[in-house]
Structures are given as structure tokens and as C-alpha cells.
Structure 1
Amino acid sequence: MNIRRLKDSISSRLMLAATAFACLLFFFMLVGLYYRASPILSTEPIFDLLFSKEWSPNAGKFGFFPFIMGTLWVTGLAIVIAVPISLLSSIYLSEYADSSLRAAANPLIDLLAGIPSVVYGLWGVIAVVPFIRNIFAPALGVETIGGYSILAGGIVLSIMVFPIIISITSEVMRSVSQDLREVSLSVGATKWQTIKHVVLRKAKPGIFAAIILGFSRAFGETMAVLMVVGNVYRVPSSIFDPAYPLPALIANTFGEMMSIPLYDSAIMLAALLLLIVVMIFNILARMVLIKIEKGVI
């Protein structure tokens, strides 16, 4: 009996240590990035770094505003495209599709989540970019730089976040009590009215959390966006303009020109900004999901 208790105690302590280590990894990353970014933070006000439009490492100018705006444009467009399609897909899978169709569709959705981002990027280069360059932009009378644009990045990124939003939203909608549906139908509501006024209203916090998680995934995506967005340093004014998101800046420039003072620190600051934003959105989504589980909302 004592040996069994000793084994249980050792096992529980080992699992606790492993869990603590996994949780502390994030804080190690946060502290490490802040330490590496501290030289530029000590020489330039954070406000100037975030809102300056001048990026000239040789002259000691590190303005992140065009990179931040490029990230927001691409991510915002991706969410605008992804949310309606994902929501309608979730409604169909949870409320209209039969069990056999649902069983066939769910593995395909999960497969989308497992495709490497570089494959999405290649698909964007060979399909999305030529479509924008040769068909969509000319039809609207708009010029693009070879089709590489925010629109291309938004389309590719929206497809990448489909699985996250669809999976979570479908699960949240299926968790709504069947009794609520039956009560709504019994008083004369149609199926769509029941979905709109009962199911969606009850599942709204979970849908919100799914969108936030999708947004956080899109915000930090690198390779696929880097390949189709154009990587031109300027503040975009249209979805047909090229952009230069923060993840692309890190991927393209880290390890290059590190002999320039503060250049390495500036790249680390970009990584720190991404990490903080993704952390904030994940915490918000987790708080909403916890409240759902507790029945608070």
C-alpha cells in the first residue's frame, strides 16, 4: 500500500511539474522577447515606434505603423470573409445536415486545419493571385502589383481560419438544449426562426469566442500571408494594395543586417507585439468559454 501511494505521489508531482513547465514557457518567451527588445524601448518612446511611418534601419528609424496596419488590414479582411461562411456552414452542419453527412464533413474540416501554411501559400500564389490579377481586378478597373495584395492574403487567411471557427461554433450550437428548440417549434416558429432567435442567441457567446480564436490565429500567421500579400512597406488604403504584415517582417528580416544598431531589437519588439496581441485575444476567448461552461452567460 505504501509503495502504491508513493508511486501515485511521484506520478502526480511529475505531472504537476510538466504542467507548470508548459505554462511557464509562455512567460519565458515573454521575458526573453522583452529583454531583447529593451534596447530600442530605452532609446525610442513606444508611441513613436508604434505610430511612426518611417522605416529606415540604416538611419535608425523604426516605424512599425505600416506593418501594424498591414496586419490589421489582412486579418480584418480575413475575418470579414471567414465569419459569414463559417457561421452558415456551422448552422447547416449542426441543424440541417444528417448524421452521415456530418460524419463525412467533420474529418474534411479537421483536415483543413492540418494542412501546412506553406501549402496554403503556394495555392494562393498559383490560384488566388492570378485570379485577382487577370480576372477580378480588371473587372473592377483596378490595378494591382501582379495580383499580390491584401485581398489575396485575406482570402488565403480566411480559408485557414475556417476549421477553427466552424468546429467551435458547431459544437457550441449542438450544445444548446433540444428542449429549447422543441418549445420554440411548438409555439409555431419555423425551423429558421428557431435557429435565429433561440439557437444563435443562446450560442452567441460561444460564437464570439470562436471568432476571437480565429482572429488570434489569423493575426500571427506568417508563411501563407508572406507569399501572397506583396510585402511592400507602405500604409495600405485599399484591399487591392500590397501590404507588409508584422509576421512577414519578422520572417523576412530576422538574421539579416543584424550589424545595424537596434535592428535586432526592433525585430524582437515586433515579435513581442504579436505575442501580446495573440495572448490578449486568447484570454478573452477563454474567459467567454469558461463563463459558458459555468452557465453564467
Structure 2
Amino acid sequence: MQATRETVLTRIDQRAQHRPTYRLSVRRALLDWGAQRLFGLAAVAIGGLVFVIAATLLVRTVPLLHVYPLSDLLTGQVWQPMRGLFGFAPFIVGSIAVTGVAMALAVIPAILCGIYLAEYVNRRTRTLLKPVLDLLVGIPSVVYGLWGILVIVPLVRDHLGPWSDRTLGRLLPFFSQTNPSGYGLLAAGIVLAVMVFPLIVAVTEEVIRSVPDEMRQTLLALGATRWESTKCIVRHAGLPGILAAIVLGFSRAFGETLAVMMTVGNVARIPGSLFDAAYPLPALIANNYGEMMSVPLYESALMGAALLLLAVVVCFNAGAQFAVERLVRRRNA
């Protein structure tokens, strides 16, 4: 009986000792469950925000779609709201053209610069250059726009335009200087290229530096040169991240408003030359929203322009994500 009593007392003491630990584990489990639900709710809210924005724009665009077929709106080339003509074709082409010029000027130099910062620059030089890139990313777009008006537009008007008209313009009409003002696709494209350049450089540099150093050392030990090692890293380990950097640059360029609006000329006409003025979708919305709202369907047309802008960016990002995933699967196969 005495032994049984001592055994019972020992078990009670052991349970009393483990009770705080049990309470602590329950508390940690509850905190983990709550944090998981909270983070999941935040992720769903962020993802659902895109659908909420799209639904809101679509509801405001419906009155216009009841009057005009979507095909007529997308292919129409005349924008005269006072007469009820809402052709989006010049604005769609203008957005694509300005973004295309900017990406053509920025992508390859930015990728090469990112590779150089990641693979060839010493730590001291990289420490000096990184804050400059971060500063360029954070400069307000209105500052870029003013710089474009003061520097890029005169450069295009007085030097690049006449030179292109005398040389390439004689063979290809796309390079002829049809607009002597300097405001046009090339000026806006150069300003936009400068804006997206540091973003692509920063992402590319981070992607290349995230590759394990053992991969570099292995390639060098096998007799590869520095450039051969870098090329192998970019092709096999860094290509998906570089494509993601290009997608980010495209999204930034396609949705840019103020700097492009200040340098592109804002003429609702499909450009036929690199020096023609254009009118991108963001500039259309920024210039006209809040004015002449008494015109029937005018606000609905501007909401339709915003919906088009959102749809192009979403489709491009989805297509790029699909291409990156397919590339990764093919590489791992």
C-alpha cells in the first residue's frame, strides 16, 4: 500500500511539472493557427483585389458596351466624344509602340549591366553603385518628364531626327522625321527606357547573385573562363529570374503616365513613324478624366480605357508566368 501511494504521488508530481509545458504548447499552436489564417486571408485579399478592380471597371464600362460593339471600339480610329465616337485603336497602338521602343532600348543594356554588377564588380564598387540604382528607381516620374522636355525632346528635334531623316529615313519611312517638334514616340521611349532601366538592372543583379557560389567555382575548376561561367549561370540558373525582371519592366513601362504624357505629344492618331506623336491609354485617362463628364458615355469610355490597360498588363504577366514555368519544367526534365 505504501508503494502504491508513493507511485500515485510521483505521477501527480510529474503531471504538475508538465502542465506549464502543455499550456505553452497549446498557446503556440493557437498562435500558429491564427497567424496561418491571417496570412492566408491577406493573400486572398490581395489576389481578390485585382478581380474587384476589374469588376468595378467592367460595371462602369457596360453602358458603353450596350451602345457600341466591342470590336468597333477596339478597331475604331476616331476619338471624338462630342460626336459619340470612341475609337480605342490609336491609344492601344500608342501604348504598345511607346512601351516597345522603351523596352527595345532598355532590356539588353539593363541585363548586361545587371550581370556585370553581379559577376565582375568588386564589393566596394557595388556598394557605391547600388544606392544610385535605388535612387533612380525612386525618382518621381514628373522629374523624368521635365528632364525629357528639357534634354531629350531638343535632342530628338535637333539631332536624332534630322540624322535619321537623312540616313535611315530614305530607305524606311518608319525612321523619317515626320514630326519636327521632337515630341513623339522616340522621345517618350527614351525617357521611359531610363525609368525602367534601373528596375531591370536591380532585379537581374539580385537573381544572378542568388545563384550558389559553388556553381561558379565548379565551372571555373573545370577550366571555364569567367565569361563562360557567367553565360552558363545566366542560361541555366538565372534565365527565369531575368524574364521576371523584363516582365516587371514592361508592366512599369506600359502603365507609366506622367512622364510619357509630358513627352509623347498626345495626338489621337496611329503613329506611322518613330518620330510621330502618339497618345497612350494612361495619358488619355489622366488628361480627360474629370472633364466633360456631361458628355454621354464619356466616363464609361474612360473606364473602358482603364479596363483595357488592366487587361493588357494582366494578360502579359500571365503569359510571361506561363512561359517561365514551361522553361523551368523543360530545363528540369
Say whether residues 1:282 and 2:306 are aligned partners: no
Task: Say if 2:225 is the partner of 1:201.
Answer: no
Partner of 1:107: 131
Match of 1:133? Answer: 157
Q: Which range is displaced more, 117-126 or 10-19?
A: 10-19
Deviations 1:228-278 (A, max 9, x none): 000011111111111000100000111111111111111100000111122
Per-residue Cα deviation, 1:184-242 (whole angstroms, up to 9, x for no partner): 3334332223323x022122222112111111111111000000000011111111111
Structure 2 residue 284 is the aligned partner of structure 1 residue 260: no
For 1:14 and 1:177, locate their aligned partners in 2 and report how far apart those are by CA, in whole Å.
33
Q: Name stretches of at least 5 consecutive residues in structure 1 with no aligned partner.
A: none
Considering only CA atoms, is the larger Rg found in Structure 1 or Structure 2?
2
Matches of 2:74 and 2:27, distance apart in 1: 59
Determine helix, strand or coil for the equivalent of 2:211: coil
Instruction: Please identify, of 276-285 and 55-64, the stretch whose mean Cα deviation from structure 2 is larger.
Output: 276-285
Identify which of 246, 255, 263 aligns with 1:220. 255
- Per the alignment, residue 51 of structure 1 pairs with 75
Give the one of 193, 198, 223 matched to 1:188: 223
1:250 aligned partner = 285
Structure 1 residue 139, shift from structure 2 partner: 2.7
Q: Give the corresponding residue for 1:93.
A: 117
The equivalent of 1:60 in structure 2 is 84
CA–CA distance in 2 between the matches of 1:124 and 1:195? 35
Paired with 2:27 and 2:106, the residues of 1 have a C-alpha distance of: 55
CA contact under 8 A between 1:206 and 1:292: conserved in structure 2?
no
Letter in 1 for 2:73: L
Compared CA separation, residues 19 and 180, structure 1 to 2 (3 A): closer
Q: Is the 1:210–1:285 Cα contact (8 Å) retained in structure 2? A: no
Unaligned runs of 5+ in 2: 1-22, 166-176
CA distance in 1, matches of 2:44, 2:221: 51
For 2:326 and 2:122, how far apart are their aligned partners in 1? 30
Q: Which moved more, 1:253-262 or 1:266-275?
A: 253-262
Residues 142-151 or 239-248, more deviating: 142-151
CA contact (8 A) 1:161 1:218 kept: yes
Q: CA deviation at 1:176?
A: 2.7
Letter of the 1:140 counterpart? S
> 2: CA distance between counterparts of 1:12 and 1:38?
39
The offset of 1:138, in angstroms, is: 2.3
The aligned counterpart of 2:179 is 144
What corresponds to 1:233 in structure 2? 268
- Residue 119 of structure 1 aligns with an amino acid whose one-letter code is V
Q: 1:111 to 1:271 in 2, by over 3 A?
A: same
Equivalent residues in 2 for 1:14-33, closer than 5 Å: 15-33=39-57
Kindly state the Cα deviation for residue 89 of structure 1 after the two structures are TM-superposed: 0.5
Deviations 1:101-156 (A, max 9, x none): 11111121111111111111111111111111122212333353421010011011
Task: Please say if residues 178 and 273 of structure 2, whose CA atoms lie closer than 8 Å, have aligned partners that are also in contact.
Answer: no
CA contact (8 A) 1:209 1:284 kept: no
Q: Distance in 2 between matches of 1:20 and 1:193?
A: 43
Distance in 2 between residues matched to 1:6 and 1:205, nearest whole Å: 38
CA distance in structure 2 between the aligned counterparts of 1:214 and 1:222, rounded to whole angstroms = 14
Instruction: Say yes or no: does 1:271 pair with 2:306.
Output: yes
* Structure 1 segment 156-175 matched on structure 2, within 5 A: 156-175=191-210
Equivalents in 2 of 1:4, 1:94: separation in Å?
Answer: 41
- Aligned mates of 1:116, 1:194 — CA distance in 2: 38
* TM-score for the superposition, normalised by structure 2: 0.81
Counterparts of 1:97 and 1:15 in 2: how far apart (Å)?
39
* TM-score, normalised via structure 1 length: 0.90
CA contact (8 A) 1:206 1:288 kept: no
3-state SS of 1:251 partner = helix
- In 2, Cα distance between equivalents of 1:140 and 1:13: 60
Partners of 2:44 and 2:95 in 1: how far apart?
Answer: 32
The Cα shift of 1:183 comes to 3.6
